[in-house]
Homo-oligomer: A and B are copies of this chain.
Amino acid sequence: MQCDQTTRGSELLLGMDRSSDTPMHVQLEGALRDAIRSGRFADGTKLPASRVLAAELSCSRWVVVEAYQQLTAEGYLQARAGGGTVVFSPSPPAEDIPRTPVPAPPAVLVDFEPGIPDLAAFPRSAWLRALQHTVRSLPPHDLNYGADAGVPVLRRVLSEHLARTRGVRTDADGVLVCAGVTHGLTLLCEVLRERGHRQVAVEDPGWPRLSKAVRRAGLTPVQVPVDEEGLVVDALWRTSARAVLVSPAHQFPAGVVLSPSRRTALLDWARECDAVVFEDDYDAEYRYDRRPVGTLQGLAPDQVAYLGTVSKTLGPGVGIGWLVAPGELRPALVGLRDCGDPVPATLDQMALAHLIESGSLDRHLRRTRSSYVERLNTLRTALAQHLPGARIQGADAGLHLTLLLPDDADEAALVREARRLGVLAAGLGDYHSGTSPRPGLVIGYGQARRRQITEGIAALAEAYRTTRRVGN
C-alpha cells in the first residue's frame, strides 16, 4: 500500500495491515489507541473528520466511525459539541517500570532452611491420579461456589484422618478447610477481635509470620517465653491475653515438646480464664523416636482450636490446611467466607480427600518418615564429629533440629560466614522477639540430602571456629 502524504492518518497506517485477518476497524482502533497512549497524539489533538480519514486510508467511512465510537466509549476520544473528535489523554503515558536488577546471590550448596519438606519427594503420580479422578468424576455443580466451610467429602475424610492419627475429637461439621495454619490463625483472630479480644499470646521464640498474621487481624501479639518444657504457662497467667497460640507437639523453633504438667497447666489456664488455645500442629506427622503426643484438642475440644496443614507433608504450594474450632466459634468463622475470605480450589480439596482415602498420603508419610530419620541420624553423626561442643535441644521430630551452640559462638557472624561458604542455615536469634538467651542454629533437613548434610555440618563447624568470640 502506498502513502505519500505525511498526515496524521498516514501515521496510523504504520500499524495496519490489509492482508491481516483482523478487521480494519479493529486495526485502526488499536493504532489510534497506541498513538494516544504513547503520547504521539497529545491531549486535545483534533482528529480528521471520519470521511477525510477514510479517504486517506482508502477504507470505508464506517471503519473510521466504528473505531472513533469505540475509543470514545473507552474514553480515549471525546466528541466536541461543535463537531469533530479530539484526543482525551490527560494522564501522561505510563512509564515503563524499571526492573531492579536482581544481584546474583552466592551459590547455595547446602540448604538447611527450616520449615520446608523434601519437595523432590512430592507424590506427583498420586496427586495427578487424584486430580484426574476428581476432574473426570466431579458433578458440574460442584464447580460452583463451594460450601463455605469446605467441600463436605474433604471435611469428612479429614475428621476421620485427624481422629485416627492425632486423636482430634470432631466430625465433618467441625472441620473448616483453609489455606494453611497462618490463614486459619487469621480467621480465629478476626473472630476473637469481634468478640472484644485485643491480644493473642504467642510463643517466644516463634515463627515471625504468625505474629504478623495476628497483627493483620487487628490484635496485638504478646510474647510468652518457651523453655525446655515448652510454653511457660506461669508467664501466660501474667498477661491479659485470653487466647494463646502454641505448638505443643514440636515447638518451632525450639524443638521441645510441651511437658505433661505444662499441658495440664495450660488447659487449667484456658478453663479458668475462659480462654482459647490455638494448637498449631504444623508438623506432628513426623515424630521419629516414639509415636507423637496426642493433641490438646482431644483433651479439651471446647477450649482448643486445632490447626493443621499439608505444607510440611506435601508442600506449601498445595495450599490446603484445616481448622477444628470449639463449636461456639464455628458460625462466626464460617461467616467470614460470606465476606470474601477465600476457600481453597474445589478440585484441590476433592483431590486431597481422594489422596487420603486411597491411602496414598499414608504411603507418602511412611516413605518420607524413613528418609527424614536417615537424614536426622546423619546429622547427629556429623554434629558429634564436627561440632561436639554443641547440644541438640528437643525431640526427634519434624523437619528441623535445634542446635544450642557453645557460649563463645557469635551466631550472626557464624550464619553470615556459613552463607559465604554456601551453607544456608537460620540463627535461633531470628525467631526471638528480643535477644536470644544463647547462640543457636535451626537446621532444616527437608531440603538437604545425606551427603550434603555431612558437608554442610563440616562447613558450619568451620564457620563457628573462624567467627567465635575471642577471650571466652
Residues of A within 8 A of B (CB): 26, 33, 37, 70, 72-76, 78-79, 88-91, 94, 96-97, 99, 116, 119-120, 122, 124, 127-128, 131-132, 135-136, 140-146, 167, 169, 171, 173-174, 178-180, 182-183, 185-186, 190, 209-210, 212-213, 215-216, 218, 257, 260, 263-264, 267, 271, 290-291, 293-296, 298-303, 314-320, 327, 336, 338-348
Check A339 against B179 for contact (C-beta < 8 Å).
no
Check B296 against A75 for contact (C-beta < 8 Å).
yes
Q: Which residues of B contact A33 (CB under 8 A)?
A: 167, 294, 298
> What residue in chain B is nearest A261 (Cβ atoms)?
B78
Closest chain-B Cβ to A173's Cβ sits at a distance in Å of: 6
Report which of B209, B314, B341, B346 forms a contact with A339, defined as CB distance below 8 A.
B209
Q: Which residues of B contact A37 (CB under 8 A)?
A: 169, 298
- Known contacts A91-B302, A340-B212; is A293 also within 8 Å of B74 by CB? yes
> What residue in chain B is nearest A298 (Cβ atoms)?
B74
Check B319 against A346 for contact (C-beta < 8 Å).
yes
Report which of B267, B317, B320 forms a contact with A142, defined as CB distance below 8 A.
B317
Q: Which residues of B contact A298 (CB under 8 A)?
A: 33, 37, 74
Report which of B90, B182, B213, B327 forms a contact with A271, defined as CB distance below 8 A.
B90
> What residue in chain B is nearest A90 (Cβ atoms)?
B271
Q: List 5 A-B contacts (CB under 8 A).
A: A73-B257, A119-B143, A143-B316, A216-B340, A320-B345
Check B339 against A212 for contact (C-beta < 8 Å).
yes
Tell me the complex Cα distance, A393–B260, Å: 68
Check B344 against A209 for contact (C-beta < 8 Å).
no
Closest chain-B Cβ to A205's Cβ sits at a distance in Å of: 18
Closest chain-B Cβ to A403's Cβ sits at a distance in Å of: 23
> What residue in chain B is nearest A25 (Cβ atoms)?
B291
Closest chain-B Cβ to A358's Cβ sits at a distance in Å of: 16
Check B345 against A294 for contact (C-beta < 8 Å).
no
Tell me the complex Cα distance, A295–B128, Å: 38
Check A182 against B75 for contact (C-beta < 8 Å).
no
> What residue in chain B is nearest A174 (Cβ atoms)?
B97
Closest chain-B Cβ to A39's Cβ sits at a distance in Å of: 13
Report which of B88, B94, B257, B345 forms a contact with A301, defined as CB distance below 8 A.
B94
Check A136 against B119 for contact (C-beta < 8 Å).
no
Check B339 against A75 for contact (C-beta < 8 Å).
no
Report which of B73, B146, B216, B343 forms a contact with A260, defined as CB distance below 8 A.
B73
Chain B CB within 10 Å, residue with most, of A79, A174, A178, A339: A339
Report which of B90, B299, B302 forms a contact with A75, defined as CB distance below 8 A.
B299
Report which of B135, B319, B339 forms a contact with A216, defined as CB distance below 8 A.
B339
Check A180 against B74 for contact (C-beta < 8 Å).
no
Q: Name 7 extra pairs, CB < 8 A, besides A73-B260, A76-B299, A319-B342.
A: A70-B294, A74-B293, A97-B327, A128-B135, A212-B339, A213-B340, A319-B344
Closest chain-B Cβ to A463's Cβ sits at a distance in Å of: 24
Check A119 against B135 for contact (C-beta < 8 Å).
no
Check B299 against A91 for contact (C-beta < 8 Å).
yes
Q: Which residues of B contact A315 (CB under 8 A)?
A: 143-144
Check A209 against B293 for contact (C-beta < 8 Å).
no
> What residue in chain B is nearest A181 (Cβ atoms)?
B340
> What residue in chain B is nearest A128 (Cβ atoms)?
B135
Tell me the complex Cα distance, A395–B353, Å: 42
Check A143 against B122 for contact (C-beta < 8 Å).
yes
- Known contacts A212-B340, A345-B348; is A75 also within 8 Å of B264 by CB? yes
Chain B CB within 10 Å, residue with most, of A76, A96, A183: A76
Q: Which residues of B contact A183 (CB under 8 A)?
A: 340-342
Q: Which residues of B contact A88 (CB under 8 A)?
A: 264
Check B127 against A140 for contact (C-beta < 8 Å).
no
Q: Which residues of B contact A294 (CB under 8 A)?
A: 33, 70, 73-76
Q: Which residues of B contact A215 (CB under 8 A)?
A: 339
Q: Which residues of B contact A347 (CB under 8 A)?
A: 317-318, 348
Check B209 against A167 for contact (C-beta < 8 Å).
no
Check A340 against B209 for contact (C-beta < 8 Å).
yes
Q: Which residues of B contact A302 (CB under 8 A)?
A: 91, 94
